[in-house]
Amino acid sequence: MTIQKVCILGAGTLGSRVALQAAISGYTVSVYDIHEKALDFGFQTMKKILSQLEKGKLLKEAQEKILSRIYFTTDAEKAIQDADIVNESVTEEVEVKKEVWRKFGKIAPKKTFFTTNTSYMLPSMFAEESGRPEMFCAFHFHDVFYSRVVDIMPHPGTDPAMIPMLEDFGRKLNQVPVLVQKENPGYIFNTMLLALIGAAGKLLTGEVGSVEDIDRSWMVNFHMPMGPFGILDSIGLDTAWHVTKNRTDSASVAFAKHLKSYLDQGKLGEKSGEGFYTYPNPAYKSPDFIQ
C-alpha cells in the first residue's frame, strides 16, 4: 500500500504540525475538526511555522504550494474520503477519543489505516471502538520540527505488518521512528523525561537545590539550552501537574502540591508569561546564568 492521502483529526498544536509536515513531504492532507475556529487556528499555526522554518529558504510561492495541499473541513465524510491513513490528535479525553473512533470507524474506506497521536493513553483503549483493531496503532509525534522522534506503539491486536509501513511513513515525514515494543504510557522518551523531572522535583521540594542550581547542573554538564524547570515551563505546569498528581509516591505528592501552588497563582509556565521563570526573557537564557 502506498500512502497518498493523509487525514488528520484535530487541528490543535500537534495535529497542525503533523498535517503541515505531511504536506511538506508531498502528501495530500485533510484536516478535520468540529470547530471552524480550531481549523483557523491550525491554518495560522502552519503559516507561522512555515515562515519561521524555512526563513530565507522557501519562496512565498513554495509555501503557498504546500498549504494548497491541505484541505480544512468540519465535514467528517469529506475529511476521510479516500484517506490512506488517519492520525488522530483530538483532546486527551478517553470518551472524546472513543467517540471519534466509533464515528470514523464507520465512515472510513476499508483501506484506511488508523493511528492515534495520544500522549499518555494507550492504543488498546480505542482499537476495538474503531472497528478495525488490526489496522490500529499509536503513531506519536513530539513536536515534529525540533524533536523529530515518532513513536510506533502497537497494541496486542495490531497487525505486525503495520510496523514497517509506519516506519517508512515516519521517515518520509522527516521523523526518526522508534519502536515501542509493548504498550507503555508515555512511550519511551516521555517515560525518561518524567523520571528526570521527578528527580528534579524531589531535589526542589526536598530543599536540596534551587530551581536555578538544578537547571544549571543539567545545562552546564550536558551543554543543553534548558534544564528540567525550563522544560517544565515550556511543557506547561498544568500538563505537568495532571501527570504528577496521579502518582502516589511521597516525592510526587510533594511535587504535585508544589506545582498546584503555581497554578493557583495563574502561573502555567511560558504560555502564561510566568512559571518557574518569567517570560519572554527567562533567566536561564541569559549568558550570566551559567557563569
Residues that bind a copy of itself (CB under 8 A): 142, 147-149, 151, 171, 176, 178-182, 184, 187-189, 191-192, 194-196, 198-200, 202-203, 206-210, 213-214, 216-218, 220-222, 224, 228, 290-291
Return all residues near 124 (Cβ < 8 A) that are at least 6 apart. 155, 156, 157, 183
Comparing CA positions, the residue from 221, 215, 216, 186 lying closest to residue 201 is 215
Cell, residue 200:
528534579
Complex with a copy of itself: residue 34 or 188, whichever CB lies closer: 188
Minimum CB distance to a copy of itself, residue 137 (Å)? 15
By beta-carbon proximity to a copy of itself, the closer residue of 64 and 213 is 213
Distance separating the N- and C-terminal Cα atoms of the chain: 55
We find the least distance from the C-beta atom of residue 4 to a copy of itself, in angstroms, to be 23
Shortest distance (Å) from residue 178 CB to a copy of itself: 5
Shortest reach from residue 183's CB to a copy of itself, in Å:
9
Nearest approach, Cβ of 206 to a copy of itself (angstroms)? 8
The C-alpha cell of 21 is what? 509536515
* β 28-32/5-9 pair status: parallel
Nearest to a copy of itself of 93, 249 (CB atom): 249
Residues 6+ apart with CB under 8 A from 196: 228
**Closest distance to a copy of itself from the beta carbon of 184 (Å):** 5
**CB-nearer residue toward a copy of itself: 52 or 291:** 291
- CB nearer to a copy of itself: give 17 or 69: 17
CB 44 within 8 A of CB 50: no
Q: Least CB distance from residue 84 to a copy of itself, whole Å? A: 24
Nearer to a copy of itself, 188 or 254 (CB): 188
Burial of 138 from C-beta contacts in 10 A (0-12 / 13-18 / 19+): buried
CB distance 204 to 212 below 8 Å: no
**Alpha helix positions (H), the chain:** 13-24, 36-53, 60-68, 76-80, 94-107, 162-172, 189-205, 211-222, 228-235, 237-244, 250-264
Q: Which of 174, 172, 130 is nearest to 148 (CA)?
A: 174
The residue among 157 and 185 lying less far from a copy of itself, judged by its C-beta, is 185
Contacts of 164 (CB under 8 A, 6+ apart): none
Q: 99 vs 212, which CB is nearer to a copy of itself?
A: 212
CA angle 169, 179, 106 (to 5 degrees): 60
Residue 130 beta carbon to a copy of itself: minimum distance, rounded to whole angstroms: 23
**Taking Cα atoms as reference points, which of 20, 10, 5 lies closest to residue 109?**
5
